[in-house]
Amino acid sequence: MGCTLEVAALAAPEMWTTGDAVAAGWGYSTVRKYITDGLMPSAEKVQGQWRFDRAELEALREPVPADIAPAVEVLSDPVREWTLEQVASAPPMNAREARVVAAIFRRTAKAGVAG
């Protein structure tokens, strides 16, 4: 009987709030979008707060493509997390739009506005 209880405890989902997700480095807007898009079936509002299975959220994390991974690794932790969050929440864009967005970031960084 003790084994059954231990297995049940291990199988229980780890429920998170949006605050937990933000504290773990997820963007608030990204998490809310996943909830409203129905990508986390466990999500429910409890006493005014969204709660959901952490594993469902983690499963939505997109891997960094192999050709970009080495470049991402040179970034500091806060910049890397922010970059991956922006990429994950970006709308679809064509190559021209991507170049313009990249140029805006380069120009902003050179001007000392970013970071």
Digit-coded pLDDT (tens) for 43-63 = 999 999 999 999 999 888 766
Q: What is the pLDDT of residue 18?
A: 94
Q: Are residues 72 and 112 in the same domain?
A: yes
Q: Are residues 34 and 89 in the same domain?
A: no
Q: Are residues 45 and 68 in the same domain?
A: no
Digit-coded pLDDT (tens) for 73-90 = 788 888 888 888 888 888
| Residue labelled with tokens 């506005």 | 113
Cβ atoms of residues 79 and 71 within 8 Å: no
Q: Let me know how long the chain is.
A: 115
Q: Are residues 56 and 6 in the same domain?
A: yes
| pTM over the 0.75 mark | no
Q: Given pLDDT bands bounded at 50, 70 and 90, which one contains residue 8? A: very low
Q: Higher-confidence residue: 8 or 103?
A: 103
Buried b (16+ CB within 10 A) or exposed e, 35-51: beeeebeebeeeeeebb
Domain assignment of residue 25, given as a range = 1-61
Q: Are residues 3 and 56 in the same domain?
A: yes
pLDDT reading at 111 higher than 80: no
Q: What is the pLDDT of residue 115?
A: 47
Q: Are residues 90 and 112 in the same domain?
A: yes
Cβ atoms of residues 19 and 51 within 8 Å: no
Q: Are residues 74 and 42 in the same domain?
A: no
- The total number of structural domains in the chain stands at 2
